[in-house]
Amino acid sequence: MIKSPISGASVTLAPVLAPGDVVEIACTDLIAKTGQAVGRSDGMVVYVLGPVPGERARVRIDTVKAKYAVGELVELLTRSPDRVEPFCGVFGACGGCQVQHLAYPAQLVWKRGIVENALRRLAGIEGANVGMPVGMNHPRNYRNKMALVVTPMRAAEADRATAAFGFYAARTHDIVPIETCPIVMPQLDAAIAGFWDAARDPATAGAFDGAKHVVARAGLASGESVVSVTTQNASPGLRAAGAALAAKLPGVVGIGNSFEPPSDNAVMGRKNSTVFGNSEMHEAIDGVRFRVSPASFFQVNSEMVGRIFGYLEKQIPKGRRIVDLYCGAGTFALFFAKHGASVVGIEENPHAVREAKANAVLNGVEPDTSFLNGRVEAVLRTTAGAAALAAADIVFLDPPRKGSDEATIGAIVRARVPHVWYLSCNPATLARDVAQLVAGGYRLGAVQPFDMFPHTGHIEALAALHRSDVPPLDLAAGEA
């Protein structure tokens, strides 16, 4: 809106673009969430799927909003040397990977910029010491967990299959059927074919009666995997067919039934039962052993977890006291304890806490670990939580995408914990929380991204902070 030069009244201007217009744009960036390219026409931002930064494109405008327009690619006018052919047959339809058409080295440069921009715009930190993301040598077949959507089918619809398996299409709940996925680990990719085979076989088709999701998890070190089928109620068909289904899935050591989901969109249910074999499989990362279930709070890229371990290892001499907030099943707490630290983990999910305690026994570090169950901000107000924080040399945070909260950050500041290591999968909430820590007397040192999710717009970043009156730990040279 602008002021009329005659009457002084506010006047709404018509958008400079309209649906059906065909315009040329220079693409300068990508939207992390969607993979859409960003350009401008007559000063208005235009989003379009297909181009990569550095390319010019002819675009037909489909939708016009107050501050942006969305278009459809008509023609690429120039091609960037960073463009590559996507390696997945459903790229662009499946919502799982947004940037397969961008060369992997260029993805890493782009993701570094995402972290830098978030710290600059949202935390007000110019020139943050953000390293080049640590990438994978072979950025495929890395996901150790997959959650397939299951939809019932009439037998004639898909070669007599009674169920279809796939992922959601981008920005919808439409199902894209898949028979292979080059992003998941090989044993999980083989399991997809096994699920289709089972849905076509009368002896095992009943395993998917009423199924909503199939969740599978695999161990990189062990080659084992476990599967869980989510249904509304406990499934007699799955229990009856469990052994026969397992025979069709290479490496599977257990099949479970997850039921009574808390919402229509929930992937896992409130209750779980084992219908065949074991409820957990084994994984090992840099000498730390884990027993992991399909519902475990465990990072999806085991190789990259090992790279983070290696980055942190030199700064965990024996005797350090570490508080691990949002500790999940103890992935990092166990690593810290194996390297001589005394660790208190805090986690809201009681199932994850039980797994963390069991994995501490498995690794022989039970005497050096303790785990407190409850919401992090609430536990830090208890006597045990406050005492752990007051005694800590380092606080390690690995919160969900929504980040931490003012109460938790405030408790860290008041306890004057010397060092904070914040691992985040969301640069925006990382920047927000770093700003609060800096306002509370901390300085931001090195920020090291790790490419936990190649070919997507997601990036993990580890920020090292220290109080201004203590020297930094040398995770990397330099401060911002």
Interval 199-246: pLDDT, tens? 999 999 999 999 999 999 999 999 999 999 999 999 999 999 999 999
Instruction: For residues 162 and 273, state if they share a domain.
Output: yes
- Output the pLDDT for position 480: 39
Instruction: For residues 462 and 431, state if they share a domain.
Output: yes
Instruction: For residues 380 and 254, state if they share a domain.
Output: no
Within a domain: residue 309? Answer: yes
Instruction: For residues 310 and 425, state if they share a domain.
Output: yes
Residues 6+ apart with CB under 8 A from 101: 50, 52, 83, 84, 85, 86, 91
Query: Which positions are catalytic?
Result: 425
Within a domain: residue 197? Answer: yes
CATH of the domain at 193: 2.40.50.1070
Instruction: For residues 342 and 438, state if they share a domain.
Output: yes
Reference 368, options 342, 346, 334, 335; nearest CA is: 342
**Distance of alpha carbon 188 from alpha carbon 180, whole angstroms:** 9
Q: Is 310 exposed, middle or buried (0-12, 13-18, 19+ CB in 10 A)?
A: exposed
Within a domain: residue 272? Answer: yes
State which of 41, 56, 76 marks the end of a domain.
76
- Output the pLDDT for position 314: 83
Instruction: For residues 323 and 411, state if they share a domain.
Output: yes
In DSSP terms, 412 is beta-bridged to none
Instruction: For residues 24 and 63, state if they share a domain.
Output: yes
- Output the pLDDT for position 386: 97
State which of 284, 313, 343 marks the end of a domain.
284
Instruction: For residues 200 and 310, state if they share a domain.
Output: no
Instruction: For residues 452 and 304, state if they share a domain.
Output: yes
How many domains would you assign to the chain?
3
Instruction: For residues 442 and 310, state if they share a domain.
Output: yes
Neighbour tally for 215: CB within 10 Å: 20
Within a domain: residue 105? Answer: no
Within a domain: residue 93? Answer: no
- Output the pLDDT for position 153: 79
Instruction: For residues 417 and 455, state if they share a domain.
Output: yes
**Distance of alpha carbon 415 from alpha carbon 389, whole angstroms:** 6
CATH of the domain at 449: 3.40.50.150
239 backbone dihedrals φ, ψ, rounded to 5°: -60, -40
Instruction: For residues 279 and 318, state if they share a domain.
Output: no
Residues of the chain with pLDDT under 70: 1-15, 154-159, 476-480
**Distance of alpha carbon 258 from alpha carbon 273, whole angstroms:** 7
Structural domain of residue 235, as residue ranges? 145-284
Within a domain: residue 95? Answer: no
Tell me the DSSP string of 134-189. Answer: B--SS-SS-BSEEEEEEEE--GGGTTT-SEEEEEEBTTSS-EEE-S--SSB-HHHH
Within a domain: residue 478? Answer: no
Report pTM: 0.91
